[in-house]
Chains A and B, each alone.
Chain A
Amino acid sequence: MRNRNTIALVLIILLALFVLWIVLPIEHPSWFNRLLFWQQPPESRAVAIQQGLDLQGGTQALLQAQPAPGQEVTSQDMETAKVIVERRVNALGVTEPTVQVVGQDRIIVELPGIDNPTEAVQTLKSTGQLEFVEIGSSDNPKYPEVAQGVYVRTTNRPDSPITTTLGTRPLPYPDGVFKTVMTGADLKNAGVALDQFGAPQITFELTDNGAKIFADYTAQHVGDILAIVLDNTVLSAPRIQSAIPEGRGEITGKFTQEEAQSLAVQMRYGALPVPLQVIGIRSIGATLGSDSVQRSIFAGLLGLCAVLLFMIVYYRLPGVLAAGALLMYAGINLAIYKLVPVTLTLPGIAGFLLSTGMAVDANILVFERMKEELRWGRTVSAAVEAGFSRAWTSILDSNLSTLITCAILILFGRNFGAQAVMGFAVTLAIGVAVSMFTAITVTRTFMRAVFERSAAEGLREKRWLLGF
């Protein structure tokens, strides 16, 4: 028993060191970051606390699909819509925006740092602007980087994108403004067909007006590149093979069937496969958030000191051990927030602090049970064991009820993009789970380490030390 406990003690100390390493604001090695955050793009891989919108300031918009009567919204539609909204959001130059499909027909957009949402939301809602843009000769390309996914400024929309930092999207020619030859207003239809080799290609049909413009232009610019641009993003930059007099043509390229389909849809509907309506906006300035955080952290430290003091004064020696376990508990929580990562909101901080106050509960249950066992005449080490084993069912059952309500809150919050509700429920749930772990594992190991020697029987005489 002694040896097993010593191993446990060593493991706990190692865990504490690991937690400390994670929690401290130091540089972590890049292989570690890559391992943990393999899903994220390279720039945002770091072990750091993610701040919710209410802490760093920003805007959250909830978009709802409004299908035309008879039109059914499929998940493919929502995926396409999400990608399109994402592109538009990127065009705003926001760092680390989030776009997520929620439920059957809703999209949540989070824009950190934008605290005046009006312009931003306008951009999201508006139908896409399709343009045919002149890039120049393909034999002697002046702009070789214009390809699918790249941003360009056009004469039709010279003010967009509004910044030069586009997150992770490239804007290779920030000073260049390319000439718009024709807009999507003259596009009548777009679809997908298979060419003679069986590869997918996009077919398009222009209005009479468009056909005329196109005919003239293509006749004069055979061999040049005419980019098809949507919301300032290049969809495709094909070369004009020959004059197109009829107003019908094909775009060939290395498209998969899905890509061709998606592009044709975007060209057809001015981007969104189903109209989106903004049904909710939440926007908060940054100053409010940072002030609240500082005050809450201060209050939290104050409360924590009070709790630790109480535990030490009331339970004496076991209380000191519980205080150590509590500090470790707080550390593990913070490490989890950094590693998962959990987006921290102000109610989330409150949830963390509240769960810290409640984390003592498991320890208290054990200590009270221990005192009883001692009163009934058990040896100290037996009392320690009995305290933990008897209290465990209480701890488990009671914490489960809190976890049930947390689960319901998380479901509720997720459906409505209520970051505040979710933030609180998530931190509370994590707190409850970790508190069960630390009380049963950490506190017990400490207690066993201190009380298991036979010398501990001597402590029995010093009843005040044990919290009688």
Chain B
Amino acid sequence: MFQLVEKRRWFFLISTLVIVPGLIAMIYSTITTGTPFKLSIDFTGGALWVMEFPHPVPPGELRAVFVQAGIPDAQVTTLGDPQTLQVRTRPLTPEQKLDLEKKIAIEFGPGVTQLEYTDIGPALGTEVSKAATLAVIAASVAILAFLTLAFRKVPHPFRYGVSAIVAMLHDILVTVGIFSILSLLLGWEANALFLTALLTVIGFSVQDTIVVFDRIRENTPKYRGDAFTTIANRSLLETLHRSLATQLCAMFMMVALLLFGGATIRQFIAVMFFGLISGTYSSIFNAVPILAGWEERDLFGTKKRPLAGA
């Protein structure tokens, strides 16, 4: 039988290789900007104003209007095409906004349309950030409790929970790391949808892991004489078809959405895309090997042992 679990040190190595660049990006980003990746105004507070002009406008000109109106910290960028501009500033009072609208009309003519406007007070931004962190922690704790409960009839149920959580942390790190890199390269910002994608990845990662654990749970009493690694290998192979088939179907949907879907949810889908791949990988190559390694008191599979007569 193909020895998957025995080769776990290679899988751990691959995982590390994937996570490390993300970690470096996050550390770099934290040093330079103070946050591990760019945060949208959902978390920092501020105003985001997307306008469409009847003719291309250099961002500097628009910025000048804001500075003149007494708002020196306006950041203006183009969004897609040179006629659509995005302005990010601190929160604006309605009076300020009306004033700016008038000034913009004077400067650029009456054909300016507002495509989108979001204004989040700073207190709300902080509150949302706190709630987001809380949500991730709450999800992890709830899932750990659920797993321990679901597997309570198996010897050492706590290990199943912990292994699944470690696999989940792996997925979180991979997802967040990749996002950090994309944030540095493409300027992506984390908003409430990013949090949604992250929590969804957590949910699906554990879902995948549970299917394999379930098979192990079923096989343990059936093959009572065998070593745990053998049972683990067998369970992995038995569920491999299903894991790959499900992953493929989910990928079909997401690739279709990424390529043909609307632009506003593209980042959201991309984050889930990477997260789900990582989720399947971690269930097979992290959760089960950790479980087996724990059982053998040999986490990295480095101890020499006689060849198993599988």
Which residues of A are interface residues toward B (Cβ below 8 A)?
A: 54, 62, 115-118, 121-122, 125, 277-285, 287-288, 291-293, 295-296, 298-300, 302-304, 306-307, 310-311, 314, 346-347, 350, 353-354, 356-358, 360-361, 364-365, 368, 372, 390, 393-394, 397-402, 404-406, 408-409, 411-413, 415-416, 418, 420-421, 424-425, 428
Contact = CB atoms under 8 A, between A and B. Distances in A.
Contacts, number: 215
Contacts of A424: 193, 196, 200
| 7 closest A-B pairs by CB | A292-B262, A405-B203, A303-B256, A357-B253, A299-B260, A303-B253, A306-B252
Interface string B218-254: 1000000000000000000011011001101111111
**Interface residue tally on B, bucketed by range:** 35 or more
Interface string B82-105: 000000000000100110010000
Contacts of A282: 117-119
B10 interface: no
Interface string B113-128: 1111111110110011
A346 B146 contact: no
A425 B196 contact: yes
Interface in B183-205: 192-193, 195-196, 199-200, 202-204
B67 interface: no
B136 to A, nearest CB: 9
B261 interface: yes
A283 B114 contact: yes
Contacts of A420: 192-193, 196
Given A282-B118, A298-B260, A412-B132, 7 more contacts: A116-B114, A279-B123, A282-B119, A303-B255, A360-B245, A415-B131, A420-B192
Given A122-B94, A402-B204, A372 B238 contact: yes
Which of B123, B206, B251, B261 has the largest number of chain A CB atoms within 10 A? B261
Nearest to A419: B192
Contacts of A287: 115
Contacts of B249: 307, 310-311, 357-358, 360-361, 364
Contact of A421 (B192, B210, B255): B192
A116 B61 CA distance: 23
B246 to A, nearest CB: 4
A393 to B, nearest CB: 6
Given A288-B115, A346-B265, A347-B268, A402 B207 contact: yes
B288 interface: no
Nearest to A117: B117
Contacts of A299: 256-257, 259-261
Contact of B200 (A116, A310, A413, A428): A428
A395 B123 CA distance: 42
The A interface, classified by DSSP as helix, strand, loop or mixed, is: helix
Specify which of A285, A304, A350 lies most central, judged by the most chain B CB atoms within 10 Å of its CB. A350
B264 interface: yes
Interface stretch (B25-33, B68-76, B137-145, B169-177): B137-145
A116 B97 CA distance: 11
A416 B262 contact: no
B269 interface: yes
Given A118-B101, A296-B265, A354-B254, A398 B208 contact: yes
A398 B205 CA distance: 10
A306 B256 contact: yes
A406 B203 CA distance: 8
A281 B49 CA distance: 11
A402 B276 CA distance: 13
Contacts of B206: 398, 401
A405 B202 contact: yes
A92 to B, nearest CB: 15
Nearest to A356: B253
Nearest to A115: B114
Given A292-B264, A354-B254, A402-B204, A118 B94 contact: yes
A406 B206 CA distance: 13
A372 B219 CA distance: 14
21 contacts: A285-B113, A296-B265, A299-B259, A302-B260, A303-B256, A303-B257, A310-B252, A311-B249, A346-B265, A347-B268, A353-B253, A358-B249, A365-B211, A390-B218, A397-B214, A402-B203, A405-B202, A405-B203, A412-B132, A412-B135, A416-B127
Contacts of A358: 204, 246, 249-250
Nearest to B205: A401
Nearest to B256: A303
A10 B199 CA distance: 40
Contact of B252 (A296, A357, A368, A394): A357
A409 B265 contact: no
Contact of B260 (A278, A280, A295, A350): A295
Contact of A284 (B116, B146, B195, B199): B116
Contact of A285 (B114, B128, B239, B260): B114
Q: With a 10 A CB-CB cut-off, give which of A287, A293, A404 has the most chain B CB atoms.
A: A404
A117 B124 CA distance: 19
Nearest to A359: B249
Contacts of B119: 278, 280-282
Nearest to B128: A416
A303 B202 CA distance: 23
A393 B150 CA distance: 10
B272 interface: yes
Given A282-B118, A299-B256, A412-B135, A404 B94 contact: no
